[in-house]
Structure 1
Amino acid sequence: MTHTRYWPLQLMLGWLNLVLTAPIIYLYLGLPMIMRQHGWSGIEIGLFQLAGLPAVFKFLLATPVDRYHFGRCTYRSWSALLMALYASVLILLALYDIQHTPWSLLFSLALAASLIGTWADIPVNALAITYLPESERIRAGAIRSAATSLGAIVGGGIMLLMQTHLGWAWPFVALALLLVSGVVLLACLRQYVPVCQTAVTAQRAGLKEWLNFFATPDFRRWSWLILLYFPFIGAAWVYVKPLMLDQGFDASRIAAIVGIGGGLVGALGSLAGSRLTRHFGSGLALPAFALLSVGAISGLLLVTALEMPFIVFAAAALLTALAMGMASGLIFGLMMYHTRPGLAAVDYGIQSSLFAVVRTLVPMAAGIMLGHFGSLGMLFGLLAGVILAFILASGLRHSITAFIQTQRL
């Protein structure tokens, strides 16, 4: 099958990632503002974020996906089932208005949505590993990253506008309908033939398979890159808008240019990074994209220290979005190479758990640095982190490239 014939499949998988991401973004980035408007305390809003913890335990959720098989394409069946359950929980959230529902019930429903949405992400991305040849994996990672950026625009922007104009229930109904469209699209997979068959031994997926993942030297080295390559530039993006607010810039301008514009730049960065990686190879892309992250955070440090005007600060922010999109697209794409036959869900789950842990801890640590050392102290800390990531990527680029070449044989 030629490259052009894989585009419908790539776009379908991208759409599935978008409809899975948008509700999570709305729950954990959009709802806090609505909660504050309704008088919820900072403690209540902060504790509500704990509903996002299932992302850290993807390796546990992935095990039954590889252990229990449903039908001819088990990953497609798991994806459809979990996305339907996800839509059902969102409909329940639509029925319980924030003004008349106790915190405990809303938290329970949000936790259920987060759990099922996190779970559904595993077989969906295992589908990409199963149905796409290795030549399409970097592109798939970039499309997934771009879909995440666009999902942030949908969940963190469009759904908030819908809530403001139409009320509490409509965003949840709209997000549920998006998930239903994904379930319908999954039926289209029948026309494609998997390039990787699920091994019978996958039915025994469990503790031994988790530990054996780290027994492979190539996988151990790759795990260090997962832990260090993305979280520092990701944390910088989390704090860009607060940094701009601290500079006294108008919130609406920040939301329009950095919020929406940054999401689009991040998506375009993911796609551009995919093209560059396929042209020059991952051995060059890994240190090059890390160096771009060094430049982006250095730029933020400079414009913050010099208190430069909005247009310059916005340019530094958009450069950060570009670096973040390129780094995340590359990481997601290379994740697909680091899987074992018949254990695509388990291995993806392990890598996603590592990614989720550092994606949570590094912004938390950055917030502590911001509180104790101010904006410049935090940015210096994040700069040290991306420099470490650049050094690591430079040192490991040859071994990772060699491993990928063996996967292509």
Structure 2
Amino acid sequence: MNTTASTPNQHQPNEPAVIRAESGYWPLQLLLGWINLTLTAPVVYLYIGLPLVLRQHGWSGTDIGLLQLAGLPAILKFLLAAPVDRYPLGRAGYRNWSIVLSVVYAALLLFFSRTSLQESPWSFLFTLALSINLLGTWTDVPINALAIRYLPESQRMRAGAIRSAATSLGAIVGGGLMLLLYTRFGWAAPFQVMALALLSGCVLLAFMQRKPLPGVSSEPVQTGINWRLWKAYFTIAGHGKWAILMLFYFPFVGSAWVYMKPLLLDSGLSTERIAMIVGILGGVLAALASLVVARMTKHYGIGQMLSGVAWLNVLALAMLLMFVLAGASATILIAMAILLAIAVGAASGLVFGVMMYFVRPALVALDYGIQSSLFILTRTLMPAVAGVLMDRTGYAGMMGFLVSGALIIAWATTSWHQSLTAAMTASSRK
């Protein structure tokens, strides 16, 4: 696959110039990484951090799983992407959309900080969680469309790895530091801190100055966004198989991660110890795993890495199942949680990077929204299914289900990796 961005110039720059050009994208990469972190942390806190708090207050696995359904509006990302492409807010449309939505998102977090876990009914908390997820989902569209528009193809896997690392760091913040903040200062403090972080991203975005890449449309889509354009996405060679992977590559290992903290809590570990060891250390290792995997794709290719990481998912889940069946100690379960964190980081880094290849130049936000909708659909539904299984069959039954699903998708990924590589190569030549 060509690893340099296509340009209208006919001559090829010399190597030092290429290195200088590539290194010049680091400020933008880091800015986008910080914004992705601030977008991710609240969602992680709601769906991974709070299950630990809810378990402390006597919520069942089914209750926790049903709360995960508040993430279902995120599957409408392909619809939320339509106005972003169709109605740009000024000349820097994606940037302005990002700022406006981030401000509303921060305001909603501040409102959430004024509620009470003990006094608010479940339906009210569910509605607030649903609203926060909806705003986070919508804001994610212009942010990542911004990355596709402003970063060359050679930067895409790095951008995906940085986004995954930001997600993992968001897990540290949302699943670790915010839990510590909650235990020390109460319910409101985490939401207030996360709102301020979002607003800092808005300030940084306001000062961002870069020109879009040639070949990526900066004009609104005048033809309108309709079902024909959505359906046409899946007729492109390789996109159908990629859509299946978007649905099932991550949710099995992701669901295990959702219930890892409740499992450790039920094994006798304290909330603070879980937050420190699993939330923070696990998040760091997941971030490093996503960066390492992005580096490895340069040597082994994206198709081979998709297959390899899929089998890593199977290994992590199978080992966790084995030790759950054996009634292993909390110390061993912590080790398994760390292995699971590495698998989660590697899988998410690959998915986020490869998503940037499966887009049409004039419909960047729409195509990113389509892929994200598929990804979020099963990522949201699978933990709910897993929660019901946990209540009825125990952790072992739930883990057996997750291992079986991961095994099937690993086999499919291995079978399809050549055709997926060909599709990505064709996309990069457009």
TM over 0.5: yes
TM-score, normalised to structure 1, is 0.90
CA contact (8 A) 2:68 2:384 kept: no
Distance (Å, rounded) in 2 between the aligned partners of 1:365 and 1:40: 16
1:172 is the counterpart of 2:191: yes
1:283-315 per-position Cα deviation (integer Å, ceiling 9, x unaligned):
210111111112111211222233334433322
Distance in 2 of aligned mates of 1:332 and 1:78: 21
CA RMSD of aligned residues (A): 2.7
Deviations 1:212-238 (A, max 9, x none): 111223211110111121111112222
Q: Secondary structure at the match of 2:207?
A: helix
Contact 2:109 2:191 in 1 (8 A): yes
Q: Which runs of 5+ in 1 are unaligned?
A: none
Which residue of structure 1 lines up, in the alignment, with residue 149 of structure 2?
A: 130
Query: In structure 2, what is the Cα distance between the partners aligned to 1:371 and 1:39?
Result: 13
Deviation at 1:35, TM superposition (A): 6.5
* Residue 261 (structure 1) aligned to one of 274, 281, 287: 281
Q: 1:264 to 1:363 in 2, by over 3 A?
A: same
Contact kept in structure 2, 1:56 and 1:357, CA below 8 Å: yes
Letter in 1 for 2:379: R
Provide, for residues 40-68 of structure 1, a one-character-per-residue CA deviation record: whole Å limited to 9, x for no partner.
Answer: 99998776554332212111111111111
Q: Pairwise mapping of residues 260-299 of structure 1 onto structure 2 (< 5 A)?
A: 260-299=280-319
Matched letter for residue 11 of structure 1:
L
Structure 2 Cα separation of the partners of residues 383 and 61 of structure 1 = 33
Asked if 2 retains the 8 angstrom alpha-carbon contact of 1:82 and 1:119, the reply is yes
Q: Which of the residues 198, 202, 205 maps onto 1:186?
A: 205
Measured in 1, the distance between the counterparts of 2:92 and 2:255 equals 37
1:386 is matched with which residue: 406, 409, 416? 406
Residue 86 of structure 2, aligned match among 57, 67, 70 = 67
Q: What are the residue-to-residue correspondences of 1:2-401 with 2, within 5 Å?
A: 2-31=21-50, 49-96=68-115, 107-195=126-214, 196-198=216-218, 200-201=220-221, 204-249=224-269, 252-401=272-421
Q: Would you say the 8 A contact 2:40–2:170 is kept in 1?
A: yes
User: Judging changes above 3 Å, is the alpha-carbon distance between structure 1 residues 246 and 114 closer, same or farther for their aligned structure 2 residues?
Assistant: closer
Report the Cα offset of residue 121 of structure 1: 0.6
The Cα shift of 1:23 comes to 1.8
Task: State TM-score, norm by structure 2.
Answer: 0.86
Taking only the aligned residue pairs, the percentage that are identical comes to 51
- In 1, Cα distance between equivalents of 2:21 and 2:184: 46
Unaligned 5+ runs, structure 2: 1-19
The separation in 2 between residues aligned to 1:253 and 1:96, in whole angstroms, is 26
Q: Which amino acid aligns with 2:160?
A: G
> 2-side partners of 1:378 and 1:94: how far apart?
33
Q: Which residue of 1 aligns with 2:11?
A: none
- Judged with a 3 Å threshold, the aligned counterparts in structure 2 of structure 1 residues 321 and 213 are, in CA distance, closer, same or farther, namely same
Contact kept? 2:47, 2:258, Cα under 8 Å: no
Q: CA separation of 1:390/1:116 partners in 2, compared to 1, >3 Å: closer, same or farther? A: same
Letter in 2 for 1:319: L
Q: Label 1:96 to 1:78 Cα distance change in 2 as closer, same or farther (>3 A).
A: same
Pair 209,300 (structure 1): closer, same or farther in 2 beyond 3 Å: same
1:122/1:349 contact within 8 Å kept: yes
363-372 or 44-53, which deviates more: 44-53
Give, in whole Å, the separation in 2 of the partners of 1:189 and 1:162.
31
User: Residues 2-57 of structure 1: CA distance to partner in whole angstroms, max 9, x if unpaired?
Assistant: 22111111111110111111122233444566677789999987765543322121
Q: CA deviation at 1:180?
A: 1.1
Contact residue 85 and residue 221 of structure 2 kept, 8 A: no
State the number of aligned residues: 409
Q: For residues 116 and 380 of structure 2, what CA distance do their matches in structure 1 show?
A: 29
Measure, in 1, the Cα distance between the counterparts of 2:159 and 2:71: 25
1:338–1:347 CA contact under 8 A, matched in 2: yes
